[in-house]
Structure 1
Amino acid sequence: MLEVVEYTDPLCPWSWGAEPVLRLLRTTLDGRVHWRRVYCVLFDEDDDPAPDPAAETAWYARYVEDISAHTRAPRAPRLSRVAASSWPSSLVAAAAELQGATVADRVLRRLRETVFVRGEPADTPE
């Protein structure tokens, strides 16, 4: 059986924008391919801190807006900050995979909604 590997990060705006297309592809190919997600880390707390967090947030909000214009994905009207790390959300998403595809898809969607709908990234264990 053919294996499809989806590399993703719960807090990546391109992954958020690609979600509907990937969902359709998974549904279309269901039973004919083995689909596997690999979680990457786009934001890491070991990165150098921004010299001006407000300016970085404004830049990132424009970046997300540009991606949303391209992908037609919804976006939050305001981002509170740039995520400090995507490790916590990636760990949660990977753990949800152990509970089956339905739970994994719902958890991943909810994690993405924290930043791209609510504007508050799920970037801490709490």
Structure 2
Amino acid sequence: MTEQAATSPVVRRVDARHRYEILVDEQRAGLTAYRDREDRRVFFHTEVDEAYAGQGLASILVEQALADVRASGMRIVPVCPYVAKFLKRHEEFADITDPVTPEVLEWLDGQLKR
């Protein structure tokens, strides 16, 4: 009996749900959520399901999401701690990253109704 190799993870943007999802074998394994404010994509939450932990999926997800932001001509605001940590290790996105400000946090709270 031979085992079938797992397919490479696929990242897709789901605009209707304001997030990017990472799929493994067509199953959603994680997501990074955002809201758009003018020309800025404000990332506020990233998660990977426990069943997929330890496989580096969060890094793949965030890297591809940020590359998509760059390709769309937008800027990044890293409210999400994981995205902020990723950006410290990946300076290639520094030119399109804006700081998290109290104004952005207040706006995000209004968007999320919290």
> Could you tell me the TM-score, scaled by structure 2's length?
0.29
Structure whose residues are more often strand by fraction: 2
> Could you tell me the TM-score, scaled by structure 1's length?
0.27
Of the two structures, which has the highest relative contact order with CA contacts closer than 8 Å and spacing of 6 or more?
A: 1
